[in-house]
Amino acid sequence: MTLTITHLYDLVGLILAITAVMTLMDRQHSRRYSSAFFWGLYSLVFLVGDQLPPVWVGTGVVVMALIAAFGGVGVGHHVVRSAAEYTASATRLGNRLFIPALAIPVVTMVGTLSAKVLVVGGTPLLDPKNATLVSLGIGCLVALALACKLTHETPVQGIRESRRLTDALGWALVLPQMLGMLGLVFSDAGVGKAVSHVTTSYVNMDVRFFAVLVYVVGMALFTIIMGNGFAAFPVMTGGVGVPILIGVYHGDPAVMASIGMLSGYCGTLLTPMAANYNIVPAALLDLPDKNAVIRAQVPTALCLLTCNVFLLYFLMFR
């Protein structure tokens, strides 16, 4: 049997369904019903999402967005330990605490690298298309087993802790997927074509340096809008890169592609649209300012973007 990403969807769906039930049973929860409904709907997306008609799923997404937008996703009641208890168990367990934590990346890495070799009777054990994510899933299960053994806790306590962190993240947990969906809507609606039309029709590219500047800054700006360098690359490269930098000025395409994409990544550092990298970590680290990670990245991103303009200009036309 091949372990595929579908198994992970089932696992995550199950965790979210239990989270929803725990929320429903939490009598001290201020937004008990709407929160449970939100996590319940989200668990359905993973459990049966691909079997439902897309219109139903779309309606569910709109409902989830409205619940979140009007403050319906609240934080439940969680039993926290005292500072003394934390210190006591930190002293008792010491460096052994690092073992399960580091097991996640190590197992993920080993699984990813050995996925090609793990074949039994012609059937791969790990889905080769999603080797990293499937390995991450296995890594988390291995780490959970290690953590339970080390701390003498049950997996149920693990789910309780998972719910505590899910509550802390709130709707920010769903935002990356919402923005991924928006990217696909943008591309279906032809936003990319419209942007590339506007860029190429109204910007003067007769000066070589100016054309490079438009490509580099355009990649960053378009990534800020789309939240993803992969979405910006075809638009800017098709609109400006190939026809002007290569077609008119005969630049080196390998340099253009590489530095162009990395200019897009500078945009990723600057945008709330890249929720997985910028908004979710702010929530994960309990930062009161949701844009704190972006603020910390602005100087690096802008300096690097300036470097890219000159790198592209000098390396592309060697």
Binders of other proteins among 208-267, rule CB under 8 A? 225, 229-230, 233-234, 237-238, 242, 246, 253-255, 257-259, 261-262, 265
Check: CB of residue 190 under 8 Å from CB of residue 299: no
When binding is defined by CB under 8 A, the residue of 22, 36, 68, 240 that contacts other proteins is 68
d(CA 201, CA 195): 10
Pick between residue 65 and residue 120 the one whose CB is nearest to other proteins.
65
Toward other proteins, which CB reaches closer, 121 or 255?
255
Selected binder of other proteins within 21, 75, 118, 159 (CB under 8 A): 159
End-to-end CA distance of the chain: 53
Binding other proteins (rule: CB under 8 A), the pick from 24, 125, 151, 309 is 151
Segment interacting with other proteins, rule: CB under 8 A, options 29-37, 115-123, 189-197, 207-215? 189-197
Residue 123's DSSP bridge partners are 120
CA distances (Å), origin 140, targets 103, 111, 112, 158, 172: 8, 12, 14, 11, 21
Q: Quick one: which of 1, 28, 54, 122 contacts other proteins (CB under 8 A)?
A: 54
Residue 169, interface with other proteins (CB under 8 A)? yes
**Alpha helices (H) along the chain:** 5-25, 32-48, 54-69, 83-93, 98-114, 131-151, 155-169, 175-189, 191-202, 208-226, 229-236, 253-268, 275-284, 292-316
Q: Residue 306: CB partners within 8 Å, gap ≥ 6?
A: none
Residue 220: beta bridge partners?
Answer: none
Using CB under 8 A, pick the residue from 3, 8, 126, 232 that binds other proteins.
8
Contacts with other proteins in 76-95 (CB under 8 A)?
A: 81, 83, 86-91, 93-95
- Least distance (Å) between residue 95 CB and other proteins: 7
User: Which of the residues 118 through 147 are near other proteins (CB under 8 A)?
Assistant: 130, 132-133, 135-137, 140, 143-144, 147
> Which position among 119, 149, 155, 248 is part of the footprint of other proteins (CB under 8 A)?
155
Stretch that binds other proteins, among 28-36, 64-72, 120-128, 206-214 (CB under 8 A): 64-72
Q: 272-291: which residues touch other proteins (CB under 8 A)? A: 272-273, 275-282, 284-289
- The number of residues that bind other proteins (CB under 8 A) is 146
CA 162 to chain centre: 18
Give, in degrees to the nearest 5, the angle at Cα 259 between 254 and 260: 95
Q: How far is the C-alpha of 177 from the C-alpha of 188, rounded, in Å?
A: 17
CB of 133 to other proteins, least distance (A): 6
* Position among 25, 119, 184, 248 found at the interface with other proteins (CB under 8 A): 184
Closest CA to 167 of 79, 294, 264: 79
Q: Which stretch binds other proteins (CB under 8 A): 26-34, 60-68, 114-122, 206-214?
A: 60-68
Candidates 104, 214, 219, 220; binder of other proteins (CB under 8 A) is 104
Q: Check: CB of residue 205 under 8 Å from CB of residue 215.
A: no
